[in-house]
Amino acid sequence: KTNKNGKPEKRETFSTSLAVFFATLGSAVGLGNIWKFPYMTGMNGGGAFILVYLFFVLLIGIPIMLSEFYLGRKTRSNVVGVFDKLKASRFWKLIGYFGLLSAMLIMFFYSTVAGWVYSYVFKALRGDFRSLSSMGLAEAKAAAEKAFETTAGGTYEPMVWQFVAVFVVAAILLGGVKKGIERVTKTLMPLLLTLIVICAVRALTLSGAGEGVAFLMKADFSKLSAASVLAAMGLAFFKLSLGMGTMVTYGSYFNKENNLIGTSFQVAISDTLVSLLAGLAVFPVVFTFNLAPEGGPGLLFATIPLVFSLLPLGNLLLVLFFLLTAIAATTAMISMVEVPVVIFMEELKVPRKKAVLLITGLMFVIGVLTTHPQSLFGGVTIAGKSLFDLFDYLSSNILMPLGGLLITLFVAYFVKKNELIREMTNNGHLKTAGLVTLLQFVLKFVTPLLLIIVFLNALGILKL
Ligand code: PFF
């Protein structure tokens, strides 16, 4: 590919290590932290679940993130093109196609939820939830639930907001890597981090703080089932955006000086802290008002408006909370959509603008037709799951771990140790060769084994 002066066109990169950090953290931090992590933790034994989750982050998440960074920065290519550049057999391109599929499936339902979040920012700003504080608790609870029902279950409203969410993502991605992804994440991520700290601090000064913290952190191993172990693994993949080429794609924009190992730890640790802060912002308030810590979307969209509106300055807090959630969802979505966009740009030679419009258009149309209760296929269930839940389950619990397994096997067994060391130490500039040796050992023997055990266990083939 050449530019107008006939020189080969340079692929864009992020400018600094800070930009790399915020972009990558922007991908990891998302609805997963605020909508999935707190209730999954609460339901699956609190601290016990967190321990299992951390175990997977360390032995599966970080090794796979590093493998993806390696593949991306080494080849400076999209997830399908990587394997041509490395002259690998065509089989491995399957990783890229799985990634493409996961990105689509996740976007269908993720942009639906993001749309609800956007609409709540708007509604909180308009003061829609103010009246809740003057009602009795039962009446206020019913009103909050009703508000969520109209937001999610209406005919046109959820469609319009989903469109807005997808449109914002498209607008950012049209700006490309530096002017789009980098600029937005560098501005919004510090804001998000500030807002979540404010919300958590406010919540922790309430009378229900102790009970809320206990619900989140107290380890109850009796609630850990095979299903919760699989869920913890799926959450690690979903949280850190792994197994579908997102980190390959972002890795392909990292600059040469970036410390890959350092970045992977910083991102994994910061992301986990954001998840914990989200739990700390929510549960103390829930317990202060003696409500049940409900699971699923109800927690974010009915319980939170209810309990926050009961606090002094609650409406402001509500605006801030949904704003930070909207930021989180948006920076995560741009990384998701960038995966297919670059595949189209580089493999099919489609210009960025066309690729972005085509892919976001497709995501919006299929998403709208399948993931709303009122939409054409909204009532369809397969194996007892709605399409919304099915897309979520298939991507988090099957496609991403499977993609992750293939990525692990490829980097463990087809990349020479010296080569891995050279890339990870930035040509010997960093003194991390020892860590790379450890990484390779983990990738060869620990990560794949763990993945397979959790799979077999979940399928009931292996009884642990
Ligand atoms: N990590 C995001 C979250 O926790 O909400 C979800 C996600 C983003 C998954 C990007 C996959 C992805 F490519």
Assess if residue 2 is contained within a domain.
no
Q: What separation in Å is there between the alpha carbon of 206 and the centre of ligand 1?
A: 31
Whether this prediction's pTM lies above 0.80 is answered by yes
Q: Cα(181)–Cα(335) distance, rounded to whole angstroms?
A: 8
| C-beta 106 within 6 A of ligand 1 | yes
Q: Cα(273)–Cα(369) distance, rounded to whole angstroms?
A: 36
Q: Cα(222)–Cα(210) distance, rounded to whole angstroms?
A: 22
Assess if residue 9 is contained within a domain.
no
Q: Cα(451)–Cα(257) distance, rounded to whole angstroms?
A: 32
pLDDT in tens, 161-212: 999 999 999 999 999 999 999 999 999 999 999 999 999 999 999 998 999 9
pLDDT of residue 50: 95
pLDDT band per the 50, 70, 90 thresholds, residue 381: confident
pLDDT of residue 397: 84
Q: Cα(209)–Cα(230) distance, rounded to whole angstroms?
A: 30
Q: What separation in Å is there between the alpha carbon of 268 and the centre of ligand 1?
A: 13
Assess if residue 10 is contained within a domain.
no
pLDDT of residue 464: 64
Q: What separation in Å is there between the alpha carbon of 4 and the centre of ligand 1?
A: 36
Contact 275, 38 (CB under 8 A): yes
Give percent of the chain with pLDDT exceeding 70: 97
Domain carrying residue 312: 17-458
Torsion sign (Cα): 169, 156, 116, 97: negative
Q: Which residues contact 259 (CB under 8 A, 6 or more apart)?
A: 17, 426, 430, 432
Q: Cα(167)–Cα(172) distance, rounded to whole angstroms?
A: 9
Kindly tell me if the per-residue pLDDT of 2 is higher than 60. no
Q: Cα(161)–Cα(98) distance, rounded to whole angstroms?
A: 28
Number of domains in the chain: 1
| C-beta 31 within 6 A of ligand 1 | yes
* CA of 245, closest atom in ligand 1: 13
| C-beta 244 within 6 A of ligand 1 | yes
Question: b/e map of 4-42 (b: 16 or more CB within 10 Å)?
Answer: eeeeeeeeebbeebebbbbbbbbbbbbbbbbbbbbbbbb
Mutate which of 109, 335, 392 to test ligand 1's pocket (most atoms within 8 Å of Cβ)?
335
Closest CA to ligand 1's atom 9: 241
pLDDT band per the 50, 70, 90 thresholds, residue 418: very high
Closest CA to ligand 1's atom 12: 241
Q: Which two tokens stand for residue 212?
A: 């809320």
pLDDT of residue 457: 74
Assess if residue 268 is contained within a domain.
yes
pLDDT in tens, 231-261: 899 899 999 999 999 999 999 999 999 999 9
Assess if residue 50 is contained within a domain.
yes
Assess if residue 426 is contained within a domain.
yes
Q: What separation in Å is there between the alpha carbon of 250 and the centre of ligand 1?
A: 13
Burial class (CB in 10 A: 0-12, 13-18, 19+), 110: buried
Q: Which two tokens stand for residue 303?
A: 């319980």
* CA of 33, closest atom in ligand 1: 4
CA dist list (Å): 415 to 74, 263, 284 = 11, 21, 48
**Could you tell me the CATH number of the domain that includes residue 425?**
1.10.4160
Q: What separation in Å is there between the alpha carbon of 40 and the centre of ligand 1?
A: 16
pLDDT of residue 371: 83
pLDDT in tens, 5-62: 665 567 999 999 999 999 999 999 999 999 889 888 888 889 999 999 999 999 999 9
Assess if residue 258 is contained within a domain.
yes
Kindly tell me if the per-residue pLDDT of 3 is higher than 60. no
pLDDT of residue 106: 95
Q: Which two tokens stand for residue 137?
A: 């608790």
Assess if residue 5 is contained within a domain.
no
pLDDT of residue 286: 87
Q: What is the mean pLDDT of residues 139-144?
A: 90
